[in-house]
Amino acid sequence: MQIRVTVNGVEHVSDVEPRTLLVQYVREALGLTGTNIGCDTSSCGACSLHVDGEAVKSCTLLAVQADGANVTTIEGLAGKDGSLHPMQKAFMENHGLQCGYCTPGMVMAATSLLKEIPNPTEEDVRIGLEGNLCRCTGYHNIVKAVMACAGK
Amino acid sequence: MIPAAFDYVRAGSAAEAISLIGQHGSDAKFLAGGHSLLPLMKLRLAQPSVLVDIGRVKDLSYIKDAGDHIAIGALTRHMDVEKSSVLAQHAPLLAHAAGHVGDPQVRHRGTIGGSIAHADPASDLPATTLALGATYVVQGPKGTREIKASDFYLGFLESALAADEMLTEIRVPKMNGAGWSFQKFNRRAQDWAIVGVAAWRRNGDSGVALVNMGQTPVLASSVSGALKGGASIADAAELAVAEASPSADNNASVEYRTHLAKVLVRRALEQASA
């Protein structure tokens, strides 16, 4: 089936099998491998990206469901000149990662969260990131990074 | 994990969706947000040959004040139920429970109708709408009919929906002034409840329903009956499992679930009475 998806500002027209997952589409068809596959069962959040501005788990979405949508992956967050998005910068400055595997998903979930709750409490951030698992147990600095990005 | 191959068709309206599902037979399934169905398909626990995508039927996404009840379109996402000011005013228990479904990413895609039609006894919204005395509106080739939540759940992942019928609306009675509580006990964030309780009280009346305490969501009528008869909360909570038939799994034994249900019903009633 033919789909038309705008990914990081670039329109793509692609033929996909209906069973193609969105995460597979961005990684394999578009070569955007910043979006990771972790649990593959919509638990861990490593595959989080934005569809029409909201974080979703792209392992539990068919590419055909994103037909016509605006998708942003971690590659689309930084400026064209390579300058980091404030959330990426905050993760770097607050050491919000260890191995880094969960990081793209964390950053995408966190940017979506701040759109919905611009002035979060620490509890809002912890609850808001409940869909993203970090197996290095690095939540403390991740929460610090999101709070820093929110200006707190 | 990639689902087995299937044919994909898209419906623009409820009528078109019902016609498409009728054409493709009982091996076709509706796809709404996909957050119950796609995981099952990836595990090959479900292998429909055709998916009828109803996710773009936007006129079934609404929350309206309809006089004595609130009407919620079946394709309303959990996030929209959670943040609804209409529900915050008239049925806050449902908005609150919707905020406990999965996690924000799941709530951006999953729909109330999808969750109810999936009829998973471990899900939050089937039990919550059951406690609230909701009515479900379903549409089929011969028109619409209403099914009470208390008549809808027939077995594990099994409901009164016929194969060619689609859930289109959830009607929740207005609960202004009622005390309410939603208790969800789990060990991991974002997980299904090991046991959950949705409860409300207003004057002498109450509604109590249990999550993950049997093959279907369970209406704890004995608890409401005892309260109506003047029993204390502690005594009424002891009847929590009178209608339940919990099973054991990796998370909990039958004894543990039974204990949890009584404790959580007591806490829910205390909160709903405060």
pLDDT in tens, B204-252: 999 999 999 999 999 999 999 999 999 999 999 999 999 999 999 999 9
Task: Quote the pLDDT of residue B190.
Answer: 84
Spans of all domains in chain A: 2-76, 86-149
Q: Which residues of B touch A44 (CB under 8 A)?
A: none
| Residue B39 sits at the chain A interface (C-beta within 8 Å) | yes
Q: Which range is least confidently modeled, A32-41, A99-108, B125-134, B181-190?
A: B181-190
In this prediction the ipTM stands at: 0.96
Residue A3 DSSP symbol: E
Question: Given a cut of 80, is residue A152 above it in pLDDT?
Answer: no
Range B34-58 average pLDDT = 96
Query: What is the number of residues in chain A?
Result: 152
State residue B127's pLDDT score.
98
3-state secondary structure of B63: strand
Fold designation for B58-173? 3.30.465
pLDDT of B162 reads 95
Closest among B176, B181, B183 to B203, alpha carbons compared: B176
Are A96 and A90 a contacting pair, CB within 8 Å?
Answer: yes
Alpha carbons B217 and A91: distance in angstroms, whole number: 42
Closest residue in B to A109 (Cα) is B105
Percentage of residues of chain B with pLDDT beyond 70: 100
Cβ–Cβ of B106/A43 closer than 8 Å?
no
Q: How many contacts, defined by CB atoms under 8 Å, are there between A and B? A: 80
Q: What is the mean pLDDT of residues A41-53?
A: 96
Q: Do domains A2-76 and A86-149 have the same CATH topology?
A: no
Per-residue H/E/C for A46-115:
CCEEEECCEEEEHHHCEHHHHCCCEEECHHHCCCCCCCCCHHHHHHHHCCCCCCCCCHHHHHHHHHHHHH
Q: Which CATH architecture has domain B7-53?
A: 2-Layer Sandwich (3.30)
Cβ <8 Å between B106 and A40: no
Task: Go through B203-214 and write b for each residue having 16 or more CB atoms within 10 A of its CB, e for each that does not.
Answer: eeebbbbbbbbb
B 165-224 residues inside an 8 A Cβ radius of A? 189-190
Q: What's the CA dihedral at B57, B61, B65, B70 to 10 degrees?
A: 100
* Contact between chains at A61 and B34 (C-beta distance less than 8 A): yes
Q: Does B45 touch chain A (CB under 8 A)?
A: no
Average pLDDT on A54-65 reads 98
pLDDT for the residue numbered A18: 98
CB within 8 Å: A1 and B190: no
Mean pLDDT of the A7-34 span = 98
Average pLDDT over residues B45-52: 96
Which pair of tokens denotes residue B256? Answer: 């543990």
Rounded to a whole number of angstroms, the distance from the CA of B6 to the nearest CA of chain A is 7
pLDDT given for residue B120 in this prediction: 97
Domain spanning B179-273: which superfamily? Answer: CO dehydrogenase flavoprotein, C-terminal domain (3.30.390.50)
Residues of A in contact with B109 (CB under 8 A): 56-57, 60-61
Chain B residues lying within 8 Å of A55, measured CB to CB: 104-105, 108
A86-149 maps to which CATH number? 1.10.150.120
Q: Where are the domains of chain B?
A: 7-53, 58-173, 179-273
The pLDDT value given to residue A137: 79
With beta carbons under 8 A apart, name residues in chain A contacting B190: 43, 130-131
Q: Is 80 exceeded by the pLDDT of residue B154? A: yes
B59 touches chain A (CB under 8 A): no
User: Could you give the CA distance from residue A26 to residue B38 in angstroms, rounded to a whole number?
Assistant: 18
pLDDT of B93: 98
Domain A2-76 classification at class level = alpha beta
Q: How confident is the model over B10-25, as a mean pLDDT?
A: 95
CB burial of residue B243 (10 Å; 0-12, 13-18, 19+): middle
Mean residue pLDDT across chain B:
97
> Could you say which residues from 108 to 137 on chain B have a Cβ atom under 8 Å away from some Cβ of chain A?
108-109
The beta-carbon neighbor of B34 closest among A1, A62, A130 is A62
pLDDT range class, residue A134, cuts 50, 70, 90: very high
pLDDT at B167 over 80: yes
CB contact under 8 A, A60 and B5: no
Q: What is the pLDDT of residue A102?
A: 97
Dump pLDDT digits (tens) for B65-116.
999 999 999 999 999 999 999 999 999 999 999 999 999 999 999 999 999 9
Q: Residues A52-72: what's their mean pLDDT? A: 98
